[in-house]
Chain A
Amino acid sequence: MKTRVERRELLTELVAMRGIVESRSTIPVLSHLLLTVRDDRLELAATDLDVSLTSWCGAEEGSCENGATAVQARKFLEIVRALGDSPIDLSTGDSNSLHIDAGSSRFRINGLSAEDFPTLATVDQDSSSSSFEAPFPDFKRMIGKIIFAVSAEESRFQLNGALLKLKDGKVEMVATDGHRLALIEAEMSGVAEADGVLAPRKALLELMRFDGDETIRFRRGEHHLGFVIGRRELTCRILEGTFPDYEKVISTDNDRKATFDRGALSEVVHRVSLLTGDRAPMVRFGFEEKSLRVSSSNPDLGEAEESLACDYEAEKLDIGLNPVYVRDFLSAVDTEQVEFALKDENSQCLGEPVGGQDFRYLCLIAPMRI
């Protein structure tokens, strides 16, 4: 294997691969990248067996000799990052080693045989049952509005991902950790009818790290999902499991409503939450005529209280909410105003942005009680 590539281009792709590679894997080859030279390109691939990413760099004409090798990802990235801006020559040497030559720098790093690298799953582009295409920034923004509600608790694997559902020209994404739920629904082109599918958290987090304003193409295979963004293709295993019946959870009879300035509310909640414990923070929201009183108390720390004007006109209501959940939602919203709709102190609070959006977005937060 032999090729010459531009450092900047290679570095960008290596950085994109970084999150996929497992640094502490029990399978050594998973901490490696697969490098393949073919068709005047250097192809790169990384996988943790659940999520895989492939990409490529253009090679200098006439510099290529086809072949492949697996190289330790972290060291390779560190070296390329540290090199100057001259073109980089890559070639394989004895016993799976890789020579990296750039300017007057010479490296030889030990690698593994390309044959040891796992075969990557592919999503058949033609036979896929459902698909959509969208500007990548739009899709990334969708993920950003629900990712905080994806559970990180490994014991409940079916909540370690977001539900992706394509229906009637719309894409819906839903995430819940059992305490809160976020849902976003936006119109997108090229949608086929299909049931929902669970996309794992790690794949979504990796997609969030990508930049660019290209188009994202989504395809669903039998066991895998494929996301193509420009030259990169991210493939992930579909999370098996039953997602909760979230439609039933979304309350329709929350008729006590209040609108707030998003930034102001977020700051108030932040200040009051300073006097809550770490493990089970709870802030009381006391809704009264035209005002909201936010308060907290902790026997070990003390008490805090702050009031905020709002347009609340229904009956008085006291509800306990986790301030972290409230602020996660407020940070995900991009309108000036937000609305909270409530029913009683035992029912979930429904938060929605107010005005100026071409998509549906909501967040449910289950209350806390004392």
Chain B
Amino acid sequence: MAESGPERRALRRLPDALISQIAAGEVVERPSSVVKELVENALDAGAVRIEIELENGGRDLISVADDGSGIAAGDTALALERHATSKIASFEDLLEVATLGFRGEALASIAAVSRCELLTARSAGDGHRLVVEGGRLAVDEPVSRPRGTTVTVESLFYNVPARKQFLKRPATELRHALTVVQGYALARPDVTFVLRHAPDAESAGRELLRVQATGVDAAGRLNRIAQLFGEDLVNHLTPLPEARREQGISGFVGDRETTRGRRLFLFVNGRLLRDRAVLAIYYKAVRDLMKGDRPPALFLFLDVPPESVDVNVHPQKAEVRFRDAALMGRIGSALRRGLEAAKGEEPAPLREPSGPAAPPAWTGVGEVREAPAAPAWAEELAARYGGAGTGPTGKLAEVAYRPEPATRVPLSGKGRESLRLIGQYKGTMILLEGPEALFVVDQHVAHERILYERFRRSLKRQDAASQTLLVPRMLELSAAENAALAECSSGLARCGYAVRALSGGSAAITAIPAVLPDKEAESLVLRIATRVAAGDELPSEDEALADYLLTQLAASRACRAAVKMHQALSAEKMESLIAELFACEHPYTCPHGRPVVLELTDRDLERRFKRR
């Protein structure tokens, strides 16, 4: 092919600086990753006090000062080079990483994309000061400093505009940094952490987090949790069984009162992780034991031999791989026992799962529903008739079929003329005959959907009325949650909330949406704060956040106003309910995501009557 395009570029060796910058991108993503690397270095240096200062969410300045061992005079320049680390020397060492940071990338990576100053001393007075700009050493001089290291990172990404562009608002960056520090504060109750933040270089900094060193035993950990999240949370925590401590599994689970935020923290050898496999075990245990989807608080500390986990799977070390599969089983059983103790009940014996039974799945139109448990009547009958001969599992009416994958039946499209009202079942469900299926409508959720859309329309038409509070409600939040709240403040204001940040990093609600009772208004704010702080991607734009909040308001109002179960409805009322339902934008799911309409097709019925 002829060379018609732009000039072909010759292959070139990349300049070192660029290589460093590219590599830096893997480790240094945003200010919080700098904080993370520096705090890890400080902890590895044996610090017992770490002070963090941020400006403008860390975009302008990040400084981490520790009282650890410092870096020796000859090693200081080296510390800022890539892969310079005192922590590993060989491939064998890599297999047994016992310290937090290990790849020797941190300081060099940070130095490549910022103006970085390093002040370090192995003993008082014997200090060194290095300044590196964009990866090049600019200053190297002796200086006086007490034992420890201070790394100051200014103008992060000043030389990488593409990266800088992706930084979020200062409030968001600050919240990420607080989340990181909170994580290490939980992991290391024996270390004092202080975090201060100033909006810019001129303003005075505000202390957002301060936790004093305590012990690393269970009491110390609880003390630290109380310092971060408030005493109230600690009163609702139960320790995991003592027996598991020897296997390196310890921690605390909360009771039902603690489900409001997703306060789920997993530490592996002192490193905060979001390991999906462990969380999945926890979610399953919660579903089985608490019969709910909202998980109670979890603080799980795993201390396992370094060689049994592979931390080198994620550049930010946010995930690990466990080489010991049995560990998962032990974690699962510890969590179950913990949850049972938190519920205040005796643990039930663990049962083997009874084979790969096909779930008797009814299909909600447009929404696949999880297989329901055996209905109560089936168990009752089974109990009454001894259960013998009623099927392999002793349950009556074992469903041995699996319907075809759900095809969405456009009820509204076909027009409800094609549906005939059969009647009401137990004052709870409305039964409809369709051309090719029987439809079951849950009247409560149907009405909820109708009201929800109505409320939502009226809320959007008119700004939410706000009720000022005579006495502000103080919120017991962690520093990261407070930062999350500050981030959402203008969206909250649009919904009728007024939240004021107070000194010492706490917050107070001074006005609430008038449509909500006080308690509910408060718990909605808490839920948003904890979810944002836990890293849930809530809409960050004010407009979208306000929309999300309005949705929540409308949903909670709709649920209360809707017709309840066991309420007999006349044929006229049922017809009008169905007509209104199918006039809705989304008639198939309730505002909480549950199905409104279930479909039992002729095909399904015929199969059950063994005609097919």
Q: Which residues of A contact B (CB under 8 A)?
A: 153, 155-156, 176, 178-181, 244-246, 249, 277, 279-280, 282, 299-300, 320, 322, 346, 348, 364, 366-370
Q: Are B517 and A153 in contact (CB under 8 A)?
A: yes
How far, in angstroms, from A64 to B461 measured CA to CA in the complex?
Answer: 73
A250: shortest Cβ distance to chain B, in Å?
10
Q: Are B469 and A320 neighbours in the complex by a CB distance under 8 Å?
A: no
CA distance A277 to B511 in the complex (A): 19
Give chain B residues whose Cβ lies under 8 Å from the Cβ of A178.
469-471, 473, 518
Interface residues of B (CB under 8 A from A): 458, 461-471, 473, 496, 511, 513-515, 517-519, 557
Closest residue to B459 on the A side, CB-wise?
A299
Report yes or no: B461 in contact with A368, Cβ–Cβ below 8 A: no
Min CB–CB distance B224 → chain A (angstroms): 26
Residues of B within 8 A of A366 (CB): 467-470
Contact in complex: A370, B519 (CB < 8 Å)? no
A334 to chain B, nearest CB (A): 24
Interface of B is mostly: mixed
Q: Check A249 against B465 for contact (C-beta < 8 Å).
A: no
Task: Tell me if A155 and B519 are in contact (CB < 8 A).
Answer: yes
Contact at B468–A180, with CB atoms within 8 Å?
no
Tell me, in angstroms, the Cα distance from A249 to B510 when the chains sit together.
13
Interchain CB contact (< 8 A) of B468 among A156, A246, A299, A348:
A348
Q: Which residues of A contact B519 (CB under 8 A)?
A: 153, 155-156
B residues within 8 A CB of A367? 468
State whether B470 touches A368 (Cβ < 8 A).
no
B465/A364 in contact, CB under 8 A: no
How far is A364 from B466 in the complex, measured between Cα atoms in Å?
17
Using known A-B contacts A156-B519, A178-B518, determine if residue A299 contacts B462 with beta carbons closer than 8 Å: yes
Of the candidates B462, B464, B470, the one whose C-beta lies within 8 Å of that of A179 is B470
If A179-B467, A181-B470, A299-B458 are given as contacts, then 5 extra A-B residue pairs at C-beta distance below 8 Å, sorted by A number, are: A178-B470, A178-B471, A280-B513, A368-B465, A369-B511
In the complex, the chain A residue whose C-beta lies closest to that of B454 is: A300
Q: Which of A155, A180, A279 has most B Cβ within 10 Å?
A: A279
The answer to whether A370 and B465 touch (CB under 8 A), given A153-B518, A178-B518, is yes
A368 to B512, CA, bound (A): 9
Interface centre among B458, B513, B514, B519 (most CB of A within 10 A): B514
Cα–Cα distance between A364 and B471 once the two chains are bound (Å): 11
Chain A residue contacts of B463, Cβ below 8 A: 370
Instruction: Enumerate 7 A-B pairs (CB-CB under 8 Å) in ascending A order.
Output: A153-B517, A153-B518, A178-B469, A178-B471, A277-B515, A322-B514, A366-B470
Please give, as numbers and ranges, the residues of chain A lying within 8 Å of B496 by CB-CB distance.
Answer: 369
Known A-B contacts A156-B518, A156-B519, A280-B515; the reply to A370 vs B469 at CB < 8 A is: no
Contact at A368–B518, with CB atoms within 8 Å? no
Contact check: which of B458, B462, B466, B471 meets A368 at CB < 8 Å? B466
With most chain A CB atoms within 10 A of its CB, the pick from B467, B496, B515 is B467
B470 near A320: Cβ-Cβ < 8 Å: no
A370 to B511, CA, bound (A): 11
Instruction: Collect the chain B residues with CB atoms within 8 Å of residue A299's CB.
Output: 458, 461-462
With a CB–CB cut-off of 8 A, which chain A residues contact B513?
280
How distant is A346 from chain B, measured CB to nearest CB, in Å? Answer: 7
Which residues from chain B contact A280 at a C-beta distance below 8 Å?
Answer: 465, 467, 513-515
Most chain B CB atoms below 10 A, which of A178, A249, A364: A178
Contact across chains for A364 and B461 when beta carbons are under 8 A apart: no
In the complex, the answer to whether A364 meets B470 with C-beta atoms within 8 Å is yes
Most chain A CB within a 10 A radius of its CB, from B467, B470, B473, B515 = B470
- Most A C-beta atoms less than 10 A away, residue of B473, B518, B557: B518
Q: Pick the contact of A320 from B461, B465, B557 — CB < 8 Å?
A: B465
Q: Which residues of A contact B468 (CB under 8 A)?
A: 179, 346, 348, 366-369
Chain B residues near A153 (CB, 8 Å)? 517-519
- Which residues of chain A have C-beta atoms less than 8 A from B471's C-beta? 176, 178, 244-246, 249
Measured in the bound complex, the distance between the Cα atoms of B514 and A282 in whole Å is 9
CA distance A16 to B192 in the complex (A): 61
Q: A282-B514, A364-B470 are in contact. Are A369 and B465 (CB under 8 A)?
A: yes
